[in-house]
Amino acid sequence: MFIRLIPLISLVDNSTNSRRAKAEEGVLSVVTDNSSSHIRSVLKPSPARALEFSEIKVQGATELCIVEEKTSVGKVNMQEQKIFNIEELTELCTRIEETCVGFAKFNFFQIVDATDNFSERRILGLGGFGTVYKGQLPNGLMIAIKRLDEHATVFDFDSELQLAKLQHANLTRLLGWCIHGKERILVYEFMQNGSLDHYISERTKGQVLDWSKRFKIITGLTEGLVYLHKGSMSCLVHRDLKPHNILLDYNMSPKIADFGSARTLSSDVAEERTSRVVGTSGYKAPEYASQGVYLLKTDVFSFGILVLVIISGRKNTILNKQGDTVGDLVRDAWHMWKDQRLHDLVDPLLGDRYEVAEITRCAQVALLCAQEDPADRPAMTDVAAMLNSENISLPMEPKQPTALIHGCADRDTASTYMSQSGRTIDITITSSAPMSTRVRIILDPEV
């Protein structure tokens, strides 16, 4: 007898009340084939949430008792899909306006005039939950206007509103709001030099970023994240740090932007779990990308990738089919650091115009931040201490990333670990969906 996992759905006996398998949420079923003594375990995961049922029994040549257990990793936030209530949102914005200096209500027609009726020529970029336009007020003030799209949830809007309460030199400022019919609009300060992504992806612009500017961006991001994690009277995890969400002002100082994915945690060691994983491949921490688990150390991983990108001018590519969890840039950087040839990592645009000691320290700190296990990553307060003082020795060496699996089939469907003891077979199923499932099959003699 052997077990095969295939991405299909099969019929099962659903006569007992203990089976709670909802078709729209996904079904795990087992089918026995008397003629060949095969047992087939079939997993059809839901894209939105983990499976919900207790057990399935299948009668045949062999009786099987299958118990499914959802891995307990944090609390699933069930409010992330809450439908908009315009009246509630308006009341919320009004309350924030009364308590936060510099946060004001904008007239919708004022926004229309400022963006030339949301002209395509005014588009600065497309965010995760809306389109950002460049606008100009009658007094000449330049602003950035985010027009949330129909897919944005109340949680996305509410998360962005947290910025009104935050005041830090390395965070973008939220200036105001506008709700008009179905329109939901947020107004920000305008960043003259656009996003860091433009300087990384467009090589002609990358020449503007000498090492002093890059180091300034790294230290500015560090200070901004320390504030988010520790200094803002709450533990705020951004969850979508990437070059596109790092804006540069007139002085090339970095500003962390796009807080639509940000969530507040109860403490600096707390973790939660979501079925709605957002973010960009190459910057998402392994625990968040595979299981939907997020904590402050999730931001630390993304920060580590950002630093390596700033140093190298390269992108970080995840090779999903080879079991990759951290990306090719992290693996290459680790080998270059281990072999003491970090000069191979440095962006060729920098030539030899950089401080070797600063590059070495930044690269090692970045590798510590990009560790696969969150427990191996430093807190952002420790990162700040390591970067700001050359006299502080780094506490540990970064561990080598897990080796890739060569010549394997597509791992996006599911991967399994199976152990067998006597008449019991334990299977652990993990996949790219935000869930991890354990299945126990107990084999009883034929009745």
Per-residue confidence in pLDDT tens, the chain, 447 aa? 344 444 433 433 444 444 443 333 343 433 333 333 343 444 444 444 343 333 334 344 333 333 333 333 444 454 444 555 788 889 999 999 999 989 999 999 999 999 999 999 999 988 667 899 999 999 999 999 999 887 777 777 888 898 999 999 999 999 999 999 889 999 999 999 999 999 988 878 878 999 999 999 999 999 999 999 997 778 999 999 999 999 999 999 999 999 988 999 988 888 999 988 888 899 999 999 999 999 999 999 999 999 999 999 999 999 988 889 999 999 999 999 999 999 999 999 999 999 899 999 999 999 999 999 999 999 999 999 999 877 677 778 999 999 888 755 444 433 333 334 334 444 434 444 444 444 445 554 443
Residue closest to 319 by CA, chosen among 310, 331, 311: 331
Q: How far is CA 81 from CA 153, 157, 276, 277, 284, in A?
A: 6, 12, 9, 12, 21
The pLDDT of residue 383 = 96
CB 259 within 8 A of CB 152: no
CB 260 within 8 A of CB 267: no
**Residue 82 annotated as lining a ligand binding site:** no
The pLDDT of residue 84 = 58
- Give the pair of three-digit tokens for residue 203: 């090589």
CB 120 within 8 A of CB 128: no
Based on the residue annotation, tell me whether 324 is a catalytic residue of this protein.
no
End-to-end CA distance of the chain: 18
Classify residue 71 by burial, with Cβ atoms within 10 Å: 0-12, 13-18, 19+. middle
Instruction: Output the CA angle 323-299-385, nearest 5 degrees.
Output: 120
CB 144 within 8 A of CB 191: yes
Residue closest to 379 by CA, chosen among 255, 237, 258, 284: 237
Q: How far is CA 18 from CA 33, 56, 66, 67, 380, in A?
A: 24, 8, 12, 11, 47
Residue 377 backbone phi and psi in degrees, to 5: -90, 140
Sign of the CA dihedral running 270, 276, 278, 281: positive
* Topology at the third CATH level for domain 196-388: Transferase(Phosphotransferase); domain 1 (1.10.510)
Secondary-structure class of domain 86-189 per CATH:
alpha beta
The pLDDT of residue 83 = 54
Neighbouring C-beta atoms of residue 266, cutoff 10 Å: 11
Of 156, 240, 299, 347, the active-site residue reads 240
Buried b (16+ CB within 10 A) or exposed e, 30-40: bbbeeeeeebb
Classify residue 182 by burial, with Cβ atoms within 10 Å: 0-12, 13-18, 19+. exposed
At residue 128, what is the residue type?
Answer: G
Residue closest to 328 by CA, chosen among 349, 342, 345, 348: 345
CB 413 within 8 A of CB 430: no
Rg (CA), the chain: 25
Q: Where are the domains of the chain?
A: 3-70+413-444, 86-189, 196-388
Q: How far is CA 206 from CA 73, 146, 220, 243, 408, in A?
A: 41, 27, 18, 13, 37
Query: At which residue do the structure tokens 């030899």 appear?
Result: 352
The pLDDT of residue 81 = 47
